Structure 1
Amino acid sequence: MKGGTNMKFAGKPVYVFVLLSITMVMRLAGNNTMLVTVGKSPVLICPIKGQISMLKWTITPKAGGLCTLVYRTDKNMTLRTNCSDNIDWKFTAGPAAALEIRQVELAQEGNYSCEVASTDGNFLMMYHLTVLAPPRPSLYCDERGSPVCEAAAGKPPAQLSWVPESILFAEETGHQNGTVTVLSKFTACSTNVTNVTSCMVSHPAGNWSQSIACCPSEKTNFFLYAGIITCALIIITLLAVIYCFKLHSYRPCHKTKPPEIAPIHSQQDDTMEVEPYTTYVQKENVIYNSVSDLTVGQNLPQDLCSETRVIQ
């Protein structure tokens, strides 16, 4: 039991030594980034040292499945699994260590690794392939007579600039294949639109520039004049509505009857109504007193006095 335990512990250093040996043998030959324009045919080189026994390319694209190409010298045969027709060995005078991608496409962007087993050891070379899509530039005048610059379907998105300088506002539209369309309109307020303007497109796949002179179209002038006339009519209509509203708001005040005011019953009016009766009573009393005095003075009978008063 004790001897077996010693052998068990002795096996661990041996296992670690083997792993370290494999790690030392597997040397990293390089890790490169390659930029290529869509439609080109890049060639990826895998360095060879010593006499090789096997060569293997492993391709991991961003779109699609894993692709492998294997070359064995002992059997002088090649194997390929799930690879596109435009990916194949690059035949040279020596060993087939190069890989060619004919008319590369955007979907073939990804990682490409080459493993070599030779008498000098194992080697690994890795590539990160980046596929560029040059934009389709165009410069034109829109319906309002303003210059418009467009860089369609570029990867990565193109950079636009104006001469003379403009308030740069770029609108980007992405597509399913990873490309982006960039559109910019010349909006410099201080610059006359009849002057010549230039658009410059900057992209890793190449630069482009073009000039154009745009003039306001007759259609633009028509819409401008129509807008001015419409605004004037709206203002006049609003003023008329306000005037009519004010006019109708004042009319009810003139049509309403003034509130009926109760007549003021003054003390003077009462005096004027009572005064005739008072005068009559006073006159009657004066006549009565005069007759009474006359009767008493002449010793006349009372009946005569009464008749006399009636006659009066």
Structure 2
Amino acid sequence: MKAGGDMKTARKTVCVFVLLTITKAMITAGNYRLSATVGNSSVFTCPQKSNITMVTWKISPKVGGPCTLGYRADQNKTDRTNCSDSMNWKFRPDRDPTLEIRQVKIAHEGNYTCEVVAPEGNFHETHHLTVLVPPKPTLSCDDQGNPVCQAAAGKPAAQISWVRESNSTPNEEGHDDGTVTVLSKFTAHSTKVTNATCIVSHPAGNWSASIACPPRKLLFVHSAFKIMNYT
């Protein structure tokens, strides 16, 4: 009975060892969230290991098909599939497998997963990229003499506020590319207000401006009538 118990214990020990070995072989280094402003560059790091055997970048953008970048140490060879020219290794992949995107576009938004094969195991690291688009702010006066603030084509939608209190409710208009235009009209609580300051808040940067709108002018249209005689 004791021998049988020892064999069961040995089997359990072997199973635990195998599970630990599998766990060591498949190590998830981490999941990260980062953002980049459209037009700028973005860098994605990968687990730094010595004696790398293979590196694979798997990119899954929200728009368009997936692409891959790969490196094999035994062949000292890199390859790419369906990746744009703006997406490439920042350095030599055998020394540093960092990925870089030059001139980030909205279409680059998505998931970037790096898989590294090394003697001590396989390592995965995933980056979730969000692309920011700064809105184009403008401040003007409408025909009624009200200040109008607009933050056009921003991603995500910008927040508009006024320094003086206002009854304004911002209106949003979405676009096909995922950007949003926000418009806010200043409506003062008091007729004594002569100027207003608009503040546009956005993750890519803030903006503010002031304006003084003249009071509404009444326009008189004089019509001249021509009397025609018919005979």
| TM surpasses 0.5 | yes
Counterpart Cα distance in 2 of 1:171 and 1:191 = 24
Contact 1:68–1:83 (Cα < 8 Å) also in 2: yes
Contact 2:143–2:216 (Cα < 8 Å) also in 1: yes
Listed as ranges, the gaps of 5+ residues in structure 2 are 1-10, 222-231
Find out whether 1:222 has 2:219 as its counterpart.
Answer: yes
Amino acid at match of 1:40: N
Larger Rg: 1
> What is the deviation of 1:189?
3.3
User: Which structure's residues are more often helix, by fraction?
Assistant: 1
> What is the deviation of 1:20?
5.4
Find out whether 1:209 has 2:205 as its counterpart.
Answer: no
Aligned pairs (5 A) from 1:139-178: 139-178=139-178
Q: Secondary structure at the match of 2:182?
A: strand
Counterpart Cα distance in 2 of 1:129 and 1:20 = 32
Moved more, 23-32 or 137-146: 23-32
Amino acid at match of 1:113: T
The ranges of structure 1 where at least 4 consecutive aligned residues each deviate by more than 4 angstroms after the TM superposition are 13-20
Contact 1:51–1:120 (Cα < 8 Å) also in 2: no
Q: Alpha carbons of 1:108 and 1:93: their partners in 2 closer, same or farther (altered >3 Å)?
A: closer
TM-score by length of 2: 0.84
Q: Which residue in the other structure is 1:104 paired with?
A: 104
Structure scoring higher RCO (CA < 8 A, sep ≥ 6) equals: 2
Q: Which deviations, in whole Å up to 9, do the C-alpha atoms of 1:33-80 show, x marking residues without a partner?
A: 011111110111112223110000000000000110010011011111
Counterpart Cα distance in 2 of 1:21 and 1:191 = 76
Q: Alpha carbons of 1:93 and 1:23: their partners in 2 closer, same or farther (altered >3 Å)?
A: closer
Q: Which residue in the other structure is 2:46 paired with?
A: 46
Listed as ranges, the gaps of 5+ residues in structure 1 are 1-10, 226-312
Q: Which residue in the other structure is 2:69 paired with?
A: 69
Q: Which residue in the other structure is 1:85 paired with?
A: 85
Contact 2:73–2:94 (Cα < 8 Å) also in 1: no
TM-score by length of 1: 0.63
Contact 1:87–1:100 (Cα < 8 Å) also in 2: yes
Counterpart Cα distance in 2 of 1:70 and 1:14 = 35
Amino acid at match of 2:212: A
Q: How many correspondences in the alignment?
A: 211
Counterpart Cα distance in 2 of 1:46 and 1:85 = 20
Amino acid at match of 1:109: E
> What is the deviation of 1:187?
1.0
Counterpart Cα distance in 2 of 1:83 and 1:14 = 44
Counterpart Cα distance in 2 of 1:168 and 1:145 = 15
Q: Alpha carbons of 1:143 and 1:104: their partners in 2 closer, same or farther (altered >3 Å)?
A: same
> What is the deviation of 1:165?
1.1
Counterpart Cα distance in 2 of 1:94 and 1:117 = 12
> What is the deviation of 1:163?
1.7
User: Which structure's residues are more often strand, by fraction?
Assistant: 2
Aligned pairs (5 A) from 1:235-254: none
